[in-house]
Amino acid sequence: MAQVPSPAKSQTKGIILKGALLHDGKGKVIKDGVIAFKDGVITYVGTDFSDASYEVIDTDGQEIYPGLILPTSELGLVEIEAVSASNDNYETGRINPEVRSVIAFNTDSHVIPTVRSNGILVEQVMPKGGIFSGRSSIVQLDAWNWEDAIVQENDGQHLHWPNKYYAPGWTSPEKGLQISKTYQKYVKVIEHTLMDAEAYSKATDIKLPDFPMEAMKELFSGKEKLFIHVDEAKSIVSAVKMAQKYNIQNIVVVGGADAWLITDFLKENNIPVLLTDVHSLPEREQEAYDLPYKRAALLQEAGILVGLTHSSASNSRNLPFYAGTAAAFGVEKEEALKMITSNTAKILGIEEKYGSLEVGKSATLVISKGDLLDMRTSKVTIAFIDGRAIDLNNKHSMLYQKFKDKYEN
């Protein structure tokens, strides 16, 4: 009982889900929807399908959604955030592009079942620490080991842009925002690293490989993306322009607290944004209290491709509710759903298999008794990853049942 649920076995029989309100993750909603899948692949989406070889599950009164996708997360690397011995999410040093986060991904984490029971079934697991933190990979959240979990290995590099400003502690004689004395120093370190990496990527006769530079080669071929973690508006512009200067083709802004201020620049350069921490405070005293809730709407209205994420591994279980908040503050509901499904899949480059309910895609989906984006009604009853019905039991539900029994008896 103390162990996490065992991974589900491969799908052996076709399944038909019928009668639910079906959200396809691309903006379409089907009343009394029917979805069928076999061998882990969706074979039908619509309103009428029958096949005697398929098992039929009645989902009348419930809602079906694509499995949610959690980008730029440390889930599986961090167990208890306050206990450093349980965390394996960063390496020492500032320049570590050769670090591969996926080999530290712990499929036995007790946090993972609590997250997937809220509908999150796919994750981009990333390293953290330093300036160039290393490579992320995309995994599905029901596997015996990290090799089995991999959906896409080494999908991108993560660059943590230095903070230009900082707020002194309350005991400091300095008041208000201060300009960082090390900002320019670290910007030069980033530029020198990119300059060296681009030159290395063009070399043809390398007798002794440089492992950090080898790890960055695919940034310049376009096979891997550069995820730039940055919030301040001018820093976003500086970071993107520097990456473009060294011919990096695929750039994603992560965080993007000020991205709404520079939408013309982002749209002109076709830069998507993964907004972090919808449930947060404004960056500045003069900003509206609800600005963090409205950022997604402001970016979407400007034509920016937007996905949502969270900086905490444990709190990331609330991802659907962050989309729900965006829906309450200006984003149309199905568009908000796209920000945690198809939009994110497109940003990560896995849209051919995940992110929406379409024929030929992976049968990775969630069934809820209520609106998945509303914390008052969401109750995930069944979830499938690649057609496998996963066990939704977790430590939270076990503790709930334990103490419910205590006080009822």
pLDDT digits (tens, 9 = 90+) for 10-36: 999 999 999 999 999 999 999 999 999
Q: Which tops the pLDDT comparison, 35 or 178?
A: 35
Residue 108 CB-density burial (10 A; 0-12 exposed, 13-18 middle, 19+ buried): exposed
pLDDT tens-digit map of 185-229 = 999 999 999 999 999 999 988 888 899 999 999 999 999 999 999
φ, ψ of residue 327 in degrees (nearest 5)? -65, -30
What is the pLDDT, as a whole number, of residue 180? 87
Architecture of domain 68-354: Alpha-Beta Barrel (3.20)
From 59-63, 153-157, 215-219, 392-396, the region with the lowest mean pLDDT: 392-396
pLDDT at 297 over 80: yes
The ranges of the chain annotated as CATH 2.30.40.10 are 1-67+355-408
Q: How confident is the model at residue 1 (pLDDT cuts 50, 70, 90)?
A: low
Among 370, 372, 357, 258, which residue's Cα sits nearest to residue 304?
258
Q: Which of 144, 159, 137, 146 is nearest to 230 (CA)?
A: 159
Q: Which CATH code is given to the segment(s) 1-67+355-408?
A: 2.30.40.10
| CA distance linking residue 65 with residue 328, whole number of Å | 19
* Concatenated DSSP letters of 88-149: ----SSSB-TT-BGGGG--TT-SHHHHHHTTTEEEEEE---SSSEEEEEEEEES--SSHHHH
Task: List, for residues 349-367, the tens digit of each pLDDT value.
Answer: 999 999 999 999 999 999 9
pLDDT tens digits, residue range 242-267?
A: 999 999 989 999 999 999 999 999 99
pLDDT, average across residues 79-96: 90
Structure tokens at 132: 């160039």
Three-state SS for 24? coil
Q: Does position 170 have pLDDT exceeding 90, yes or no?
A: no
| pLDDT of 339 | 98
Residue-wise over 207-244: b if at least 16 C-beta within 10 A, else e?
Answer: eeeeebbebbbbbbeeebbbbbbbbbbebbbbbbebbe
- Where does the chain hold its CATH 3.20.20.140 domain(s)? 68-354
Residues 266-282 pLDDT 10s: 999 999 999 999 999 99
pLDDT(49) > 60? yes
Amino acid occupying residue 379:
K
Instruction: State the pLDDT at residue 3.
Output: 73
Element (H, E) at 265: helix 263-268
261 half-sphere exposure, CB direction, 13 A CA radius: 14
